[in-house]
Amino acid sequence: MVCPSVRFTGIAIGLLTLAIVGAWCWPTSSPRLSAQEAKDAKLKALLKERHAALKEIAAITARAYKDGAASNTEVIEAEQAALKAELDLGGSEKEQIAILEKLVTLARKHEEDAVGAVKKGIAPTSVALKAKVSRLEAEIALARVKSK
């Protein structure tokens, strides 16, 4: 007959071994989460870098416009690109709405300028239509965010 203390010790060692092996073999999500967090951080860094570059392009284009080396259309398009990149960074719904409202305002300005250029005969009708589509896209994006 086996002594109760030896039996208890054997069971305890068996359970301890099972716990150690189980913990070692059990799939954990922490390495995967860490990898996903690293991917997210990399993506966020790339988005921030793109936004910074587009903001710099917008500033350079605005200075070039003041010097007569760029058109108003180029300035508006550069500002729109920077705002779209800012929108890609995410943020709260309130921040997204504010960015989209700026985009709508810029698109309206661009459309007005394009229509004026068409009326003066210095731009084809397609320029005004493209500006209209740009404005409509901005307004649709704003309406979608507001309807959430």
What 8-state DSSP symbol labels residue 2? -
Cα–Cα distance between 141 and 114 in angstroms, integer?
21
Rounded Cα gap, residues 30 and 12, in angstroms: 29
CB neighbours of residue 35 within 10 Å: 10
Does residue 27 carry a pLDDT above 60?
Answer: no
pTM, entire model: 0.72
SS3 148: coil
Give residue 12's pLDDT band: very low, low, confident or very high (50, 70, 90). very low
Tell me 50's DSSP state.
H
State CA 110 to chain mean position distance.
24
* Per-residue model confidence as pLDDT tens digits over 90-133: 889 999 999 999 999 999 999 999 999 999 999 999 999 999 99
